[in-house]
Amino acid sequence: MKLTPITLVAFVVILHSCTRGAKEDTGVVQDSSATFPEPPPPPPERASPQIYWPKMNKEQAEELSRQYPTSAMVEPDHLMLVETLADEFEPEEVLLEFMRRTGDMKGDTIFPPRIRGRYPIGAIPGILEKNRRLHPLTDMDVWGLLERSGFRRGFRVIIGEDNREEVRYNTGDLGNAHPTRKDMNNAVGVAAVVHRDYLNVLKNGNFELKGYKTLQEKYELCPGEAFFQQPATANCSAFAVNDSTLVTAGHCFSEQTAGNYYFIFDYIVGDNNLPSGKFLASQVYTAKSVKRYYDPPNNRDLCIVRLNRKLPRQRVRELNVPGPCDPLGSYYVIGCPGGVPLKLAGKAKIMSNLHPAFFTVDSDTYKGNSGSPVFNALTNKVEGYLIEGGRDYIRNPKNIKCYVSVLCLDHDCRGSKGEKVIRNSQFIHLLN
């Protein structure tokens, strides 16, 4: 090829430009023999978690729908995978994924205390890495997995069908308040523990509720939750053990704060003698003195309340003599779940009966049930009082702006601890 002067000049210009682009002259003499470390390679892109969606035939899907009434919440093609993952993931691990999606997992609440206590700090990164396998699941899938993984530890939930029912009896005849049901009769001895701010004293000396929120307003519940339009005023529940003494949980109040509370009997919805929300002076008591025993690590969570005046003898409940509970028996709880008027939660079974200080039951109970008496359904005697549960509600996966009760099916509560009930033997000697 024959180079003309013009093409030669153009070649030189192009060569000079390439040289400047490769290394800018800074005016500093560089040692051509010097060596420099290679820059670190960019981190490899983190691969998105892959997931295999095994298929399920129609018969398998129908069988699962019979086992789990809420199986429709899981994508139909994902049922088999969710069933498999339920055996691999702990309930707390699935909860973390649910919290991540609803925005509840942030700051120092990323691992709630009960989860931090269960897993050592060094295990947490591994849990988060493991949970990446759940990222491709839909929200409905995660909710279904939460059910199937036996999610119950530390949460009060509805186990199986909701066995809570309104307490109804004749408040004008405490000796025969409910002539056909002995369990309802026991409700006459149960009091709601209500802060003074929620009661007006009327001119005639009676009382009326004021300034309260409904259960829905208090806990931001979704429409349709049981009792969601009822007043949620009770802090705890209590029960009469003699004609001047109540027993309740020690975390409900202290000796110093007990004076801020009223103890209201016959706290029921629309009884046949009084309009709902109004109480006779004879139904409302205050504390004359309080003895508190509070040491949770050693299972001491008790308040013994001496009342300002005597109770009618019909309100006193009979305690079963200290001894082992019937592990195959049936039990029921009477108290104020969520702070609403008295409810009876029946058909409870013992889940653990090994500890000398307490036993656990699978009752449908909530915050506000602390201090509730637990009755043996056969003898109708008190076996102990409830002290411990956990978070009552969780965000609705269909609408994260409101909360719903967590459902745990009867046969799908693997790892469940149950509701903690302090035995009579732990406090009966303190009543004298």
Candidate from 111-125, 128-142, 284-298 with smallest mean pLDDT: 111-125
For 204, phi and psi rounded to 5 degrees?
-85, 5
Candidate from 182-191, 385-394, 404-413 with smallest mean pLDDT: 404-413
Q: 124 pLDDT band (50/70/90 cuts)?
A: low
SS (H, E, C) the chain: CCCCHHHHHHHHHHHHHHHHHHCCCCCCCCCCCCCCCCCCCCCCCCCCCCCCCCCCCHHHHHHHHHHCCCHHHCCHHHHHHHHHHHCCCCHHHHHHHHHHHHCCCCHHHCCCHHHHHHCCHHHHHHHHHHHHHHCCCCHHHHHHHHHHCCCCCCECCEECCCCEEECCCCCCCHHHCCCCCHHHHHHHHEEEEEEHHHEEECCCCCEEECCCCEHHHHHCECCCCCCCCCECCEEEEEEEEECCEEEECCCCCCCCCHHHEEEEECCCCCCCCCCCCEECHHHEECEEEEEEEEEHHHCEEEEEEEECCCCCHHHCCCECCCCCCCCCCEEEEEECHHHCCCEEEEEEEEEECCCCCEEEECCCCCCCCCCCEEEECCCCCEEEEEEECCECEEEECCEEEEEEECEECCCCCCCCCCEEEEEHHHCHHHCC
Q: 130 pLDDT band (50/70/90 cuts)?
A: confident
Q: Which long-range contacts (CB under 8 A, 24 or more apart) does 326-330 make?
A: 326/350, 326/376, 326/378, 327/353, 329/376, 329/377, 329/378, 330/376, 330/377, 330/378
Q: What is the pLDDT of residue 24?
A: 39
Q: What is the pLDDT of residue 404?
A: 79
**High-pLDDT (> 90) share of the chain, %:** 35
Q: Is the pLDDT of residue 251 over 80?
A: yes
State mean pLDDT over 3-9.
48
Structure confidence by residue, pLDDT tens digits, 193-223: 999 999 999 999 999 999 999 988 988 888 8
Q: 13 pLDDT band (50/70/90 cuts)?
A: very low
Q: 288 pLDDT band (50/70/90 cuts)?
A: very high
Structure confidence by residue, pLDDT tens digits, 320-365: 986 667 778 899 999 999 999 999 999 888 888 888 899 988 888 8
CATH code for the structural domain at 187-315:
2.40.10.10
Q: 399 pLDDT band (50/70/90 cuts)?
A: low
Q: Where in the chain is the domain with CATH 2.40.10.10?
A: 187-315
Two structure tokens written together for 5: 């002067």
Residue predicted with more confidence, 286 or 152: 286
Q: What is the pLDDT of residue 41?
A: 59
Number of residues in the chain: 432
pTM of the predicted structure, to 2 decimals: 0.64
Candidate from 230-239, 312-321, 412-421 with smallest mean pLDDT: 412-421
Q: What is the pLDDT of residue 222?
A: 85
Q: 275 pLDDT band (50/70/90 cuts)?
A: low
How far is it, in rounded angstroms, from Cα 221 to Cα 395? Answer: 9
Q: 155 pLDDT band (50/70/90 cuts)?
A: very low
Q: What is the pLDDT of residue 220?
A: 86
Q: Is the pLDDT of residue 43 over 80?
A: no
> Measured at the alpha carbon of residue 377, what is the angle toward residues 172 and 237, in degrees to the nearest 5?
55
Q: What is the pLDDT of residue 68?
A: 43
State mean pLDDT over 129-148.
76
Structure confidence by residue, pLDDT tens digits, 49-99: 443 433 445 555 455 444 444 433 556 667 777 777 877 777 667 777 766
Candidate from 32-46, 67-81, 252-266 with smallest mean pLDDT: 32-46
State mean pLDDT over 282-308.
95
- Average pLDDT of the chain is 76
Q: Is the pLDDT of residue 108 over 50?
A: no
Highest mean pLDDT (candidates 37-46, 137-146, 277-286): 277-286
How far is it, in rounded angstroms, from Cα 170 to Cα 26? Answer: 99
Q: What is the pLDDT of residue 187?
A: 95
Q: What is the pLDDT of residue 136?
A: 79
Candidate from 1-5, 245-249, 269-273 with smallest mean pLDDT: 1-5
